[in-house]
Chain A
Amino acid sequence: SQQGEEDPQALSIQEGENATMNCSYKTSINNLQWYRQNSGRGLVHLILIRSNEREKHSGRLRVTLDTSKKSSSLLITASRAADTASYFCATDGGAQKLVFGQGTRLTINP
């Protein structure tokens, strides 16, 4: 069954603006990961946040995790056209496998 659900399903912003995507999940987790997928390609790992962490940064990416609300957010600052892609959160749900959400389709307009 689906564990993570991203919100919004689609997001379109101007280049240079910040993009925020949210992920909600249902069961307790050990960690949550964010992946990116360019159209028709494989997924690429972006960042992992553990259940005992609240915030993590990697370059222009900032991820937060609120285990009490079972939610996470991915912030991309100073967006670029090359950031256009689909973004997925994935959780282990306490089990030995990753379950992905449906993704947020991000479009950066030049």
Chain B
Amino acid sequence: ETGVTQTPRHLVMGMTNKKSLKCEQHLGHNAMYWYKQSAKKPLELMFVYNFKEQTENNSVPSRFSPECPNSSHLFLHLHTLQPEDSALYLCASSPETALDGNTIYFGEGSWLTVV
């Protein structure tokens, strides 16, 4: 238990569906992240939020839409995805985005399959 909870753990969706991934952290952190992990690729940073404000969008397609209503919750809204978007989506948090000595705490991930 890392203090970062992701739901659902597994999701299968069609290309025309709209779904959302949810992340909640109980660590009192101010920064939250979405990462994508595909087979045979490095972990890709998608979005960074600091104090609910988006500070990084790593050229992510608009079919992925993040939402951060408060410092404890982060959503990833999904619509009209492609099969190549199938991956493990990892949420993470850290005390601040300034990384001098900060550890990132990851959730267990949400396995997404697009059919």
Mark A residues whose CB is within 8 Å of B. 2, 30-31, 33, 35, 40-45, 48, 50, 88, 90, 92, 96-103
Contact = CB atoms under 8 A, between A and B. Distances in A.
A40 B109 contact: yes
B98 A96 contact: yes
Contacts of A45: 103-105
Interface of B: 2, 4, 35, 40-43, 45, 48, 55-56, 88, 90, 92, 97-101, 103-109, 111
Nearest to B97: A96
B59 to A, nearest CB: 11
Nearest to B106: A42
Contacts of A31: 99-101
The 7 closest A-B pairs by CB, nearest first: A42-B106, A100-B43, A92-B99, A45-B103, A43-B106, A102-B42, A42-B108
Contacts, number: 61
Nearest to A102: B42
Contact of B42 (A2, A41, A43): A2
13 contacts: A30-B99, A42-B2, A43-B92, A43-B104, A45-B105, A90-B104, A96-B55, A96-B99, A97-B97, A99-B42, A100-B35, A101-B42, A102-B40
Given A97-B45, A100-B42, A102-B41, A42 B97 contact: no
